[in-house]
């Protein structure tokens, strides 16, 4: 079997066209959605991600404000900026680009963002809401993965999804999303989460109908670890020899039924879902809620 390669870019464009009409409606009502991005330091990958967010946002008619601060910025200064943006009505959504330099406590910083503006969905309040089944903003990557599963008609209800990785930005919210009790069929999965302390990872991955890989190790998942016909979602993005490489080895294409490539798989969806959350926040501003 040779896997169908899922075109994440094309799916992102489909989502994007639905968003354009929502932005147009906001503009008819005098609202331009605003996204504030805080970037601290000079991590080259972060700079690329931020540029990409600006470009994607502006294509959709979202105003993207970038505050780029030096690496040695004190946490207090970032706190002041977040507080100002929390009060600024032109900023509907705000994100703090990760990773932050070592002087910052990551979760403490993320929790300063008003949960109604936390369009990354990384605050404890919004992660908690997702777990309790009342999501406000779902983090972009897991939301993007779910969108891929929907648009490729990959049934998840009752099936076994295995996630490798338990970070608060990918693995954990992904598990919560797939586990949701929902009426629309896009939840109710049986979920296994593997991580660096899991013994014998292949034992679990070989049982996966849907395998979602967010490890951050290039080509970590090999063909022998995957069940014939599984759907494989490669979240990884690793820079190797000046190229972007996923967490899944190319050989997996010989056994999977569908697979996302890197680049051009999950990445474009992550960005578009952030924009979708920002538009949602602007719609709430319009409704005054
Ligand atoms: N495409 C996108 O839009 C997008 C968005 C976000 C992230 N990413 C990429 O996705 C990958 C994961 O990101 P992340 O932020 O979730 O990373 P992370 O915070 O570093 O988490 C990695 C997870 O993988 C687990 N892990 C590490 N080595 C392992 C091993 N040898 N065996 C089993 N599990 C192992 C870790 O386990 P422990 O918890 O035990 O340490 C952790 O749970 C990265 O490549 C990142 O660049 C892509």
The stretches in the chain having pLDDT less than 70 are: 289
pLDDT of residue 289: 63
Q: Which ligand 1 atom is at minimum distance from the Cα of 98?
A: 15
Residue 1's pLDDT is what?
Answer: 74
The rounded Cα 107 to chain-centroid distance in angstroms is 17
Q: What is the pLDDT of residues 189-224, one digit of tens each?
A: 999 999 999 999 999 999 999 999 999 999 999 999
Asked if 31-127 and 140-267 have one fold, the answer is yes
Q: Which of 215, 243, 265, 266 to mutate to test the pocket of ligand 1 (most atoms within 8 A of CB)?
A: 215
Say how far apart CA 2 and CA 253 lie, in whole Å.
6
In this structure, the residue with its CA closest to atom 1 of ligand 1 is: 267
Residues with CB under 6 A from ligand 1: 141, 164-167, 169-171, 194-197, 201, 214-217, 235-238, 266-267, 270
The ligand 1 atom nearest the CA atom of 270: 3
- The owner of tokens 């779910």 is 146
Instruction: Please name the residue that has the structure tokens 């929502």.
Output: 22
Quick one: fold of 140-267? Rossmann fold (3.40.50)
The alpha carbon of 187 is separated from its chain's Cα centroid by a whole number of angstroms, namely 17
Q: Does domain 31-127 have CATH number 3.40.50.10860?
A: yes
Confirm if 162 and 174 have CB atoms less than 8 A apart: no
Is 155:118 a contact under the CB 8 Å cutoff? no
Q: Where are the domains of the chain?
A: 31-127, 140-267
């Amino acid at each position: 079997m040779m896997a169908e390669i899922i075109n994440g870019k094309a799916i992102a464009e489909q989502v994007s066209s639905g968003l354009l009409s929502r932005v147009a409606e906001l503009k008819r009502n005098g609202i331009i959605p605003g996204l504030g991005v805080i970037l601290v330091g000079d991590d080259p990958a972060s700079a690329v991600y931020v540029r990409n967010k600006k470009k994607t946002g502006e294509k959709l008619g979202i105003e993207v404000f970038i505050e780029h601060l030096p690496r040695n910025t004190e946490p207090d200064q970032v706190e002041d900026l977040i507080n100002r943006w929390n009060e600024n009505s032109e900023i509907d959504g705000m994100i703090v680009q990760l990773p932050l330099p070592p002087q910052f406590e990551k979760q403490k910083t993320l929790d300063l963002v008003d949960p109604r503006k936390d369009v990354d969905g990384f605050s404890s309040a919004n992660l908690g809401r997702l777990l309790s089944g009342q999501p406000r903003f779902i983090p972009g990557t897991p939301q993007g993965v779910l969108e891929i599963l929907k648009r490729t008609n990959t049934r998840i209800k009752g099936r076994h999804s295995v996630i490798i990785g338990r970070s608060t930005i990918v693995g954990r919210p992904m598990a919560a999303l797939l586990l949701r009790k929902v009426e629309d069929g896009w939840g109710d999965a049986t979920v296994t989460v593997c991580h660096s302390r899991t013994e014998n990872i292949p034992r679990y991955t070989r049982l996966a109908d849907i395998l979602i890989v967010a490890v951050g190790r290039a080509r970590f998942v090999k063909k022998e670890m995957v069940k014939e016909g599984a759907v494989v979602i490669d979240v990884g993005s690793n820079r190797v020899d000046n190229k972007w490489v996923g967490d899944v080895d190319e050989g997996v294409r010989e056994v999977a039924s569908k697979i996302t490539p890197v680049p051009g798989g999950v990445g474009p969806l992550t960005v578009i879902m952030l924009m979708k959350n920002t538009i949602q926040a602007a719609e709430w501003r319009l409704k005054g809620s």
